[in-house]
Amino acid sequence: MTKQLANLVKIAKQKLDMQEKNLLRNQTLITHKYAHIDSINVQIASIPMPSSGSFSAYQSQKNSIQAYLYEIHEIQMQIGILRDEQEYIKQQIRIAHLEHEKMLYLYNKAKNAQTLENNKQEVKQLDEVTIMLHTRQKNNANT
């Protein structure tokens, strides 16, 4: 039975590790999204605004800035989705951790019970051997 429980502990640990990897992957994606926003902000800052010239050049620059701002907004929406996923993954980690702890507890409990049973059997066998030796010595003394 302890082997079966050991396998269950191993499976629970694998599930926990998988969820932790998912969390790490999610956090990496969020970090990349923020880095992308930073690079877009650098691009926006490097766009020169015309101080003189035609209005169409100004409109063109304004439209390109608006496109960048729209892209930032889209990335922020993606980050929001990733943060929601992150919360879900954290809940899954908590559940997986509880399952792992439960399986580990049951495994240790079964292992301790088996150890106690083995110790009882050993004591019983030692008692039987002692009785047999005592009986043999008694019989040898009587003859």
Which range marks the domain in which residue 94 is found?
A: 1-103
Q: What one-character-per-residue DSSP string does 53-64 give? A: S-HHHHHHHHHH
3-state SS record for 104-117: HHHHHHHHHHHHHH
Residue 65 lies in a domain: yes
Give the residue carrying structure tokens 């399986």. Answer: 103
Residue 135 lies in a domain: no
pLDDT at 143: 65
Residue 138 lies in a domain: no
Residue 80 lies in a domain: yes
Q: 0.85 exceeded by the pTM?
A: no
Residue 141 lies in a domain: no
- For the chain, the domain total comes to 1
Q: What one-character-per-residue DSSP string does 20-43 give? A: HHHHHHHHHHHHHHHHHHHHHHHH
d(CA 58, CA 78): 30
* Nearest-5° Cα angle at 60, 59 to 64: 115
Mean pLDDT by 10 residues, the chain (143 residues): 87 95 98 98 88 82 93 98 98 96 94 92 87 83 72
Residue 38 lies in a domain: yes
pLDDT at 137: 83
Residue 131 lies in a domain: no
